[in-house]
């Protein structure tokens, strides 16, 4: 399938993560948010049970877009410039209760943790058998990542939503990237780029001790 055929499909969305990394390994904010917006569009096709997840993701994307269109927009071009700017201006709360408005650093951390879930889920989808259950793949990847940061009530609501996911076959079809084999091949192409963005962000946050921001 030619790239040009993929108008609404996930190929374009996942490939967006490829354009996040600059030559000197910085993560560009705009394609990062664009990638998330595409994922949210896909999530919105999966039914009302997922709308609480979608709303939270949209709210976080919106916070970051506000930074990108505000007075300090130049400082939010990359994740690296954001971290440098917010830390040197004491804009990041390391403890609760918060004394500063919501920082970009803590907002991106939430999306970054969700990117880890995405990485695990897509890898599960890519490598699983045709008769695997998407709900199980999703639950396993969630429990191994995001669930560790969520309270019981969110975990419960998320697992109920996962239960409504379609079969692996239908899920791959819904991705709108051709046959299931083509969808699986596309995941294999896109995943290394998502992993790279994840790893670069993880080491940036570790270096600045930002991985536990409340
Ligand atoms: C080919 C597959 C594509 C699938 C696309 C799916 C896109 C999913 C987008 C999920 C974005 C989730 C962001 C969650 C951020 C978060 O952890 N927020 C919590 C903490 O924020 P706070 O500001 O309070 O510190 C917040 O409490 C979360 C609330 C909503 C529940 C989040 C559950 C996340 C489950 C992720 C799995 C999505 C399942 C999609 C099914 C395929």
| Nearest CA-CA partner of 134 in 158, 162, 115 | 162
The predicted structure's pLDDT at residue 5: 45
Q: In this structure, which residue's CA is closest to atom 28 in ligand 1?
A: 56
Ligand 1 contact, 185 CB (< 6 A): no
Q: How far apart are CA 44 and CA 42, in angstroms?
A: 5
- Is 168 within a domain? yes
Number of domains in the chain: 1
The predicted structure's pLDDT at residue 102: 95
The predicted structure's pLDDT at residue 96: 84
Q: Give the Å distance between the CA of 50 and the centre of ligand 1.
A: 9
The predicted structure's pLDDT at residue 140: 98
Residue 214: half-sphere exposure toward Cβ, Cα within 13 Å: 9
The predicted structure's pLDDT at residue 150: 98
- List the structure tokens of 102: 């919501």
- Is 82 within a domain? yes
Q: Give the Å distance between the CA of 7 and the centre of ligand 1.
A: 24
Give me the interface pTM, i.e. the ipTM.
0.98
Q: Give the Å distance between the CA of 114 and the centre of ligand 1.
A: 6
- Is 212 within a domain? no
- Is 34 within a domain? yes
Ligand 1 contact, 43 CB (< 6 A): yes
The predicted structure's pLDDT at residue 2: 43
The predicted structure's pLDDT at residue 57: 98
- Is 176 within a domain? yes
* Domain that residue 100 falls in: 7-207
- Is 169 within a domain? yes
CATH code of 62's domain: 1.10.3520.10
**Average pLDDT by stretches of 10, the chain with 214 residues:** 53 92 97 97 95 98 98 98 98 88 96 98 96 96 98 98 96 93 95 97 98 96
- For 58, phi then psi, to 5°, come to -60, -40
Q: Biggest alpha carbon distance in the chain?
A: 52
Ligand 1 contact, 120 CB (< 6 A): no
- Is 48 within a domain? yes
Q: Give the Å distance between the CA of 142 and the centre of ligand 1.
A: 9
Size (the chain), residues: 214
- Is 1 within a domain? no
């Amino acid at each position: 399938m030619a790239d040009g055929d993929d108008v609404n499909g996930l190929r374009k969305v996942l490939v967006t993560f490829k354009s996040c990394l600059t030559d000197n390994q910085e993560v560009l904010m705009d394609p990062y948010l664009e990638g998330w917006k595409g994922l949210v569009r896909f999530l919105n096709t999966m039914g009302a049970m997922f709308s609480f997840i979608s709303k939270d993701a949209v709210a976080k994307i919106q916070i970051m877009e506000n930074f990108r269109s505000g007075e300090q927009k130049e400082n939010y071009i990359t994740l690296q410039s954001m971290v440098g700017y917010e830390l040197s201006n004491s804009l990041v709360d390391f403890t609760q209760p918060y004394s500063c408005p919501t920082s970009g650093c803590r907002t991106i951390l939430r999306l970054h943790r969700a990117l880890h879930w995405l990485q695990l889920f897509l890898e599960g989808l890519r490598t699983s058998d045709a008769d695997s259950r998407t709900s199980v793949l999703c639950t396993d990847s969630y429990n191994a990542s995001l669930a560790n940061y969520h309270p019981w009530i969110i975990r419960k609501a998320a697992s109920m939503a996962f239960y409504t996911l379609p079969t692996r076959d239908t899920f791959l079809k819904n991705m709108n990237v051709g046959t299931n084999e083509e969808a699986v091949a596309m995941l294999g192409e896109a995943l290394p780029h998502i992993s790279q963005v994840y790893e670069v962000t993880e080491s940036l946050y570790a270096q600045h001790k930002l991985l536990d921001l409340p």
